Each structure stands twice: as C-alpha cells, then as structure tokens.
C-alpha cells in the first residue's frame, strides 16, 4: 500500500494524483490521506505541492469531464472532509479509465467512491446556495459593503464570482469568521482572498444603513399572512443557524 | 393629504395624484406591502443574465429566495403595489374601492431607491411591481412602465423585474413594458368566467385573456427576432405566469387543473399559481372559512401542477367528472398509481424514463440518475437509496432485477393502507379535513398484554 500524505489544498491533492500516475501506481493499492494517522504496512510519501503538476491535472479534468464536473470535484474537496481526497482520487481514476464523455463523471452512482464525491459536492453546493440566499451586506461609513458569514464548508471561492458579477461597481468584502478568511472585491477590479489578517472590529455602519435595515424588517413582518402562519416550514427553509447573520432576525 | 406627482421617463411627463403624501416611507412600505402580499405569482426564476460590469445586478435561472416569512413563503422580490387606490370593487380584494383602509402611493423614485438599496444589501432578487387601478387601466400600466424605465435607465438596475399586466390596458403600453421586464403576469383571479362575474364585476374574462395572448405572441415573435439579431432587445424573457384564487368560488379541482392545463398548452405560460383563499373583506358573497384557508387543497393542486409540467401526466388522467376532487390522504401521483396497478411493478433496470417518472417516490432528478447509472451497473435497492429515491413510497411499485424489496401484495387496499399508515400528512389538517384511515387495529387496547383471566376466558368461555 502506498499512501500519499497531502494537505487540503487543491495543489497538494492534484499533485498527488499526478504523482500516482507518473509513478505508475496500482490504483487499488494507493491512497490519498489528509491526516498523519499511521497506516500499517504502508509506504508513506509526503506530497510537496507543485503548481505545474496540479495545473496539468486540472487541465486534463476540464478537458475530459467538462467544467461542471470539475467544479463538483472542487466542491467535494471544499467540504474539508477526511475522505474527500481519497474519494476524489478514485473517482478521477474510474473516470479516466472508462470511456466517459463530458458531464457524465457522476453517472455511475452505484460506485461507492463516485457516490461519496457526489454526496460531498451536493452538500457543499447546497451550502453555497444557502449563502447566496441568506448572506447580508451592511454598508459601512466609507460606503464599503461588509458581510460576516459562518458557513459549514469553505465556500468563499464559490461565492465571490457570484457577487462580483452581481455588484461589479461596489466595493465589498465578505468575512468568513470560522476560517478567518476575507474575500475582497474592489469596485471595477478583480476580487481576491486574504487569509488570517487581523481587522479592527466592530466596524462603524453608515447612517443610512440602520434605516434600510428597519425598512426591510418592516417589509418581512408585513408580508407574512397571519392566516397561513407556519413556523415549521419557515425553519425548514431557513435553518436557525443562518439567522444570527441576518438583519431581519436581529435587532 | 394629496399632492400632485410626476413621473419622468421615456417620452414626456405624466402627472398624477399621490395619496398619503404626508406618510413616512416606512408607513407607505407597510401599507403597500400589506396590499400586495396576497399575490403569489412572484418568483424570480426563468432568466439567466450575467452582470454587465457597469450596472448593479444579474439574474440566476433558478431564482434565489433571500428570506422566508413567518408563513414559510419565500421572500424573493420586493413585492409592493405602486398604489393601493383602486377604482374597481372586486369582492375578494382588500384594496376594493368600497373598503375603508389607509391608502398610499409610492413615487417612482421611492420604488427605485428602495429596490436599489435592498438589492445591493442582498435582501432581494429584484422588484415585483403591481398596482391598484388609478383613473383607468392604460394610465396605470403607463405609470408602471415609466417606473421600470426609470429603474432600468436612470438607476441602472440589471436585476430581475416582474410586473403585473393590467387587463384592459392599451396594447402599446404592454408591449413597451414587456421590453423592460423579465416576467409579466396577468392574473386570471378566478378559474371560471362565472366566478369572475359574481365576485369581480369590473373584470371580464376576455379582458384578462387579451393581454395574456398579446404577451404570448410577443414572446414568440421576439424569439424569431433573436434568431436573426442576437442582440435584439428581449421581450419578457422569463415568460409569463398567472394566479388563480382557490376556494372563493365552488369550482372543483378537476375544473381547475383543466383550466391550468389549457393555460400551459394554449397560452404557453411558464407557471400557474394557486392561492388558497383568505377572506380579508368579509363580503357576504364569499365563503366563510372557519378552518382557515384551504391549504391542503392548494398543496394538492401544486402537486398536480408539477405532474402536468414535468411528469408527462394529462389532467384527465388525474381526475375526471366522477371524481372531481383530489384524495385527501394520498398525493395525486400515489392516487393515480393505486388506481392503475395493472401497470406495476416497474422494473427499475429496464423501464423507460416515462414509466419511471410515474412511480411514486421517484422524481425527475432521480429518474435521470437511474437512467444514467444503470448504463454502468445493475441497480439494487441500496443504490436507489443512494440515488435519492424515496423508498418508503416506491417499494410497492418497483422491482430491482425482478424482485421486490419485501413481499408486497399488489392490491389497492393493501397499498393504500401502508402508504397512509402513520403518515405525517395529518399535519395538513388545518382545513378541518384531517381524519384517520379506518383500520381493524383501531382499538387502542390492541397492544396491551393479555391477562391470565382473559386467557382463561378465551379458552373456556364466559367465567
């Protein structure tokens, strides 16, 4: 058994995939492992991330499986799950081995690895959807839009393109408080990520901000039809964990 | 409290009276949201449009719900009326002219500012603008049109806009508006012309269907233009929708889904919405609903609506003259399946897509996944679970490799009993229709251990 030890980054995992092919490993006897947990009778290889190699793997994946399936693989990795790397590796192997056309990487759901990646990617995709729905911006004194989120998975890279496309002429930043990660979009320019910076919180909100929060709270309250009250349905659709970040549920 | 207002947009200015000009924006928003909340045709779906880098906004085809109100319905668009003044006197409507309620009117600038400020904070996906009728339908439609023109051209809003087509408005105004918005809807209000005559004396079936037909034709000819000129302006890109009020008039479910089917086929509608009637005016011509609005009925109609649009069912398969109402205990698909047991069980590894779609517990997604997955493997019940099939409903109707999961009798009574057993559906009893299936084992004492005396009694008769 050969075990490639990698970290959670895309470079590291795709480099490991590249190495497994380059060194002509028997895939059934090869593992990608994200932890340092010892495995008996195995040969450990520490993976050193290599951007060139990772890039080659990414190009191959895009060419063979199409962009949508490639993004699903990335989403599965964003779940930060321990099995994610191994499942993605074996899904890639079975995809490259078989004659699979673009967009059909996840057809064979009866396969355990394929199903695992599929399920992980679906979970992350749902979380991305939720954040697009429930994320709220607040206007700061200097006109910058600021939002704090606490997502289950590391979804920032999937959120930024959506909001950058939507609000191209705004300065905005999204702060993932669980991972201490900033997504920053300066007006009219490309967005970027910022890791582990300290910021001076609390930030000062603009005067208008409170007024619009109040207006929206009124709106949400008024739009409810008393005769149809259904808190259970509301909780199903809008889980409680999001509410502490949403202006209409805080005051 | 009235003063003159003007709208500047497109060509020239239009002057009109503003009610409640002394009101604060908060009060106005409250009055005009309250007046708009019973309109349910308000999704944000159907258009995929990328941002253009210069203005605010884009559109996502699936639509995005940004919040959920206390009744569990989604808040996707800023749903407001331009004004709740109305010259009509529809008996079911809160804004009828004979109703004594606070009246208010937004200025177009207020609508635009609210939309922009809410949108950039990610509160909403766009604007839903409807209006009471002031002066006449054409004038009202013009006001809506100019407001949207302002929003698009002065405020550079590129997000989703949905407006109401006002029945009776001049075709030119409707056409002009169509080029500015993503979706337009004309409300059918009541399923039949008869109901309309009784409850909405100022509205006529013909007036409602005319703009609907016009929008349909507009979309069709725009599609042809787009083939020729890729950058031609788009006309109502998200299609049109409508809503019907359920339970205000005595139509049957059969009648209603037939009307819906007709609208989908003949008018090319994207969606038909059903709105359980809420008696807000207390008019003597309207039914009193002591059990609350008919929510279960609305739910069943939506289920049937999905069957019509995505599952290849026809209205007359689901109901007929003799059974004009949906089953309370079973959903329309289960109901159809237990009445057509001769077509079951369905073999998962072989059955065509159309038949898979008719199995209760199998949705469109899972049917597609089954068809994709069975190319590379023989599917078992475990695989179906992974794929997302709801086995607790499906097991009575399917086989995998010729076998059923459990020994099941293909018998109507048997399956109905199992499907409805301990069903969570009882929660839909808010309209007073909840009841339990009669069963042999209804005796509460059935599970009690048998006492020694009873054993004796059973063996030797009365002691």
Q: Which helix (H) or strand (E) holds A146?
A: strand A145-149
Phi first, then psi: what are they for B187, rounded to 5°?
-80, 130
Question: DSSP secondary structure string, A67-119?
Answer: HHHHHHHHHHHHT--TTHHHHHHHHHHHHHHTT--TT-TT--TTSHHHHHHHH
Residue B345, preceding peptide bond in cis (omega within 30° of 0): yes
Residues of B in contact with A136 (CB under 8 A): 121-123
Q: Which of A133, A216, A232 has its CB closest to that of B118?
A: A216
pLDDT of B429 reads 34
CA distances from A132 to A139, B49, B53, B65, B132 (A): 18, 16, 19, 9, 33
Q: Which of A178, A182, A179 is nearest to A199 (CA)?
A: A182
**Position B385 pLDDT exceeds 70:** yes
User: Which residues partner with B246 through β-bridges?
Assistant: B276
Residues in chain B: 463
Nearest to B373 among A108, A168, A226 (CB): A108
Candidates A147, A218, A233; nearest CB to B72? A233
Q: Phi first, then psi: give them for residue A61, nearest 5 degrees.
A: -60, -45
A108 near B CB under 8 A = yes
Q: Which residues of chain A have pLDDT under 50?
A: none
Residues of B in contact with A115 (CB under 8 A): 386
**Which among B118, B373, B375 has the least Cβ separation from residue A212?**
B118
pLDDT in tens, A52-72: 999 999 999 999 999 999 999
In which residue ranges of chain B is CATH 3.20.20.70 found?
3-318
Q: Which of B68, B115, B302 is the best substitution to test chain A (most A C-beta atoms within 10 A)?
A: B68
Q: How far apart are CA B387 and CA B391, in angstroms?
A: 11
Indicate yes or no: CB of B117 within 8 angstroms of CB of A212.
Answer: yes
| Residue A38, pLDDT score | 85
pLDDT at position A216:
95
**Mean predicted confidence (pLDDT) in B73-101:** 92
Task: Give me the helix-helix angle, A207-223 and B108-120, nearest 10°.
Answer: 100
Residues B431 and B295: beta-carbon distance below 8 Å: yes
Query: B3-318 — its CATH code?
Result: 3.20.20.70
Q: What is the DSSP string of A203-216?
A: PPBPHHHHHHHHHH
User: What pairing do the DSSP bridges indicate for beta strands B126-130 and B78-81?
Assistant: parallel
B288-304 pLDDT per residue, tens: 888 888 999 999 999 99
Tokens 């069912």 locate to: B313
Q: Does A165 touch chain B (CB under 8 A)?
A: yes
> CA angle at residue B311 from B305 to B417, to 5 degrees?
80
CA distance A74 to B162: 35
Q: Which residues of chain A lie closer than 8 angstroms to B55, CB-CB?
A: 168-169
Complex ipTM: 0.93
pLDDT per residue over B5-16, tens digit each? 555 554 455 566
What was the pLDDT predicted at A221?
93
Separation of alpha carbons B65 and B75, rounded Å: 6
**How far is Cα B83 from Cα B186, in angstroms, rounded to an integer?**
17
| pLDDT tens column, B387-438 | 999 998 999 999 999 988 888 888 888 888 888 876 443 333 333 333 344 4
Which residues in chain B have Cβ-Cβ distances shorter than 8 Å to A226? 71
**Tokens 């704090």 belong to which residue?**
A148
Distance CA B196, CA B116 (A): 37
Are B120 and A137 within 8 A, CB to CB?
yes
Residue A59: HSE in the Cβ half-sphere, 13 Å Cα cutoff:
6
Name the more confident of B243 and B454. B243
Interatomic CA distance for residues B88 and B95, integer angstroms: 9
Which residue, among B209, B79, B84, has the nearest Cα to B134 in the 3D structure? B84
* C-alpha to C-alpha distance for B345 and B394, rounded to whole angstroms: 10
pLDDT for the residue numbered B175: 94
Please report where in the chains the tokens 């019940």 appear, as a residue. B381
Q: Give CA–CA dist A207/A221, Å, rounded.
A: 23
CB-CB contact of A193 with B259 (8 Å): no
Residues B131 and B82 sit within 8 Å (Cβ to Cβ): yes
Note the pLDDT tens digit of each residue in B155-202.
999 999 999 999 999 999 999 999 999 999 999 889 888 889 888 888
Using CA atoms, how far apart are residues B395 and B361, in angstroms rounded to an integer?
A: 9
Domain spans of chain A, in order of start: 2-128, 135-249
Q: Tell me if residue A187 falls in helix, strand or coil.
A: coil
Q: Is residue B246 within 8 Å of residue B195, measured between CB atoms?
A: no
B80 strand-pairing partners: B129
Number of H helices, E strands in chain B: 16, 12
Strand duo B3-8 + A192-195: pairing:
unpaired
> Pick from B345, B382, B358, B353: which is nearest to B370 by CA?
B353
If you measure CA to CA, which chain B residue comes closest to A239? B68
Confirm if B280 and B350 have CB atoms less than 8 A apart: no
Set of chain A residues whose Cβ sits within 8 Å of the Cβ of B52: 168
pLDDT confidence of residue B324: 92
Arithmetic mean of pLDDT over chain A: 92
Contact call for B56 and A169, based on CB within 8 A: yes
Residue A240 CB neighbours (<10 A): 9
Number of residue pairs across A and B with CB atoms under 8 Å? 152
3-state secondary structure of B281: coil
Number of Cβ atoms within 10 Å of the Cβ of B96 = 20
Q: In terms of CA atoms, which chain B residue is nearest residue A113? A: B386
Alpha helices in B279-432 (DSSP H): 295-310, 315-318, 332-339, 353-356, 364-373, 381-387, 391-394, 412-420
pLDDT at B410: 84
Q: Do A133 and B55 touch (CB under 8 A)?
A: no
Give the chain B residue nearest A213 (alpha carbons): B118
Cα–Cα distances in angstroms (integers) from residue B261 to residues A228, B42, B269, in the given order: 27, 20, 10
Closest partner residue to A219 among B29, B375, B377, by Cβ?
Answer: B29
C-alpha distance from residue B303 to each of A99, B274, B360, B394 (Å): 39, 11, 12, 17
Residues 6+ apart with CB under 8 A from A41: A1
In whole angstroms, what separates CA A186 from the centre of its chain?
21
Task: Please answer whether residues B168 and B87 qualify as being in contact, where contact means their C-beta atoms are separated by less than 8 angstroms.
Answer: no
Chain A, 188 to 247: residues with Cβ < 8 Å from chain B are: 188, 208, 212, 214-216, 218-220, 222-234, 236-238, 246-247
What is the rounded CA–CA span in Å between residue A241 and residue A237?
12
Rounded CA-CA distance A8/A76 in Å is: 11
B58 neighbourhood in chain A, CB within 8 Å: 165-166
Q: In this predicted model, what pLDDT tens digit does every residue of B123-132 receive, in sequence order? A: 999 999 999 9
Residue B276 to residues A120, B279, B294, B305, B431: CA-CA distances in angstroms?
38, 10, 6, 15, 11
SS3 of chain B: helix, strand, coil, percent, to 5: 40, 15, 50
Residue position matching structure tokens 């609210």: B114
Gap from B271 CA to chain A (nearest CA, Å):
21
With CB atoms and an 8 Å threshold, state whether A237 touches B79. no
Q: Mean pLDDT for chain B? A: 86
Distance CA A137, CA A163 (A): 11
């Amino acid at each position: 058994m050969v075990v490639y030890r990698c970290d959670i980054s895309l470079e590291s995992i795709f480099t490991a995939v590249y190495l497994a092919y380059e060194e002509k490993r028997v895939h059934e006897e090869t593992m990608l492992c994200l932890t340092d947990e010892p495995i008996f009778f195995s040969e450990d290889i520490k993976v050193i991330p290599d951007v060139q190699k990772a890039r080659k793997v990414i190009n191959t994946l895009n060419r063979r499986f199409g962009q949508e399936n490639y993004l699903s693989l990335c989403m599965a990795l964003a779940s930060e799950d321990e099995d994610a790397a191994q499942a993605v590796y074996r899904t890639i192997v079975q995809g490259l081995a078989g004659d699979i056309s673009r967009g059909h990487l996840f057809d064979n759901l009866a396969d355990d690895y394929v199903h695992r990646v599929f399920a992980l990617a679906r979970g992350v995709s749902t979380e991305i959807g939720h954040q697009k729905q429930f994320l709220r911006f607040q206007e700061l004194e200097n006109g910058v839009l600021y939002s704090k989120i606490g997502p289950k998975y590391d979804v920032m890279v999937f959120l930024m393109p959506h909001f950058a496309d939507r609000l191209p002429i705004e300065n905005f930043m999204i702060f993932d408080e669980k991972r201490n990660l900033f997504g920053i979009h300066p007006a009219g320019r490309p967005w970027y990520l910022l890791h582990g910076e300290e910021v001076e919180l609390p930030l000062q909100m603009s005067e208008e901000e409170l007024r619009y929060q109040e207006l929206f709270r009124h709106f949400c309250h008024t739009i409810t039809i008393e005769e149809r009250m259904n808190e259970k349905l509301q909780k199903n659709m809008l889980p409680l964990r999001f509410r502490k970040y949403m202006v209409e549920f805080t005051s | 409290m009235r003063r003159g207002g003007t709208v500047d947009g497109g060509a020239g200015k239009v002057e009109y009276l503003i009610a409640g000009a002394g009101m604060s924006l908060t009060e106005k928003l409250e009055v005009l949201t309250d007046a708009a909340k019973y309109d349910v045709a308000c999704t944000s779906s159907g258009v995929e449009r990328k941002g253009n880098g210069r203005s605010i906004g884009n559109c996502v085809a699936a639509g995005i719900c940004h919040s959920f109100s206390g009744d569990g319905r989604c808040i996707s668009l800023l749903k407001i009326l331009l004004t709740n003044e109305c010259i009509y006197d529809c008996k079911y409507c809160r804004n009828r002219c004979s109703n004594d309620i606070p009246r208010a009117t937004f200025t177009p600038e207020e609508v635009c500012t609210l939309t922009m400020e809410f949108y950039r904070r990610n509160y909403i996906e766009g604007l839903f603008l409807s209006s009471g009728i002031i002066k006449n339908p054409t004038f009202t439609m013009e006001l809506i049109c100019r407001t949207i023109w302002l929003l698009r051209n002065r405020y550079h809003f590129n997000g989703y806009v949905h407006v109401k087509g006002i029945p009776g408005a001049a075709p030119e105004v409707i056409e002009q508006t169509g080029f500015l918005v993503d979706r337009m809807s004309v409300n059918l209000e009541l399923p039949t012309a008869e109901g309309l005559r009784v409850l909405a004396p100022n509205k006529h079936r013909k007036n409602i269907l005319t703009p609907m037909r016009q929008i349909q034709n507009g979309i069709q000819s725009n599609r042809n233009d787009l083939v020729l000129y890729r950058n031609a302006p788009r006309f109502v890109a998200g299609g049109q929708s409508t809503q019907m009020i359920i339970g205000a008039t005595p139509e049957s479910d059969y009648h209603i889904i037939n009307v819906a089917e007709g609208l989908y086929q003949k008018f090319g509608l994207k969606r038909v919405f059903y709105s359980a009637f809420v008696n807000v005016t207390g008019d003597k011509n309207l039914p009193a609903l002591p059990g609350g609005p008919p929510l279960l009925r609305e739910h069943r109609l939506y289920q049937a609506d999905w069957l019509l649009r995505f599952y290849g069912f026809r209205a007359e398969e689901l109901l007929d003259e003799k059974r004009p109402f949906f089953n309370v205990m079973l959903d329309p698909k289960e109901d159809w399946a237990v009445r057509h047991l001769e077509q079951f069980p369905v073999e998962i590894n072989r059955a065509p897509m159309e038949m898979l779609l008719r199995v209760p517990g199998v949705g469109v997604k899972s049917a597609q996944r089954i068809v994709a997955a069975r190319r590379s493997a023989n599917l078992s019940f475990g695989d179906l679970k992974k794929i997302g099939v709801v086995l607790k409903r499906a097991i009575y109707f399917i086989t995998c490799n010729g076998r059923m999961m459990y020994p099941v009798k293909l018998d109507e009574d048997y399956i109905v009993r199992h499907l409805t057993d301990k069903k969570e559906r009882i929660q839909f009893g808010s309209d007073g229709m909840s009841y339990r299936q009669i069963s042999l084992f209804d005796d509460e004492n059935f599970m009690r251990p048998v006492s020694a005396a009873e054993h004796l009694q059973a063996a030797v008769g009365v002691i």
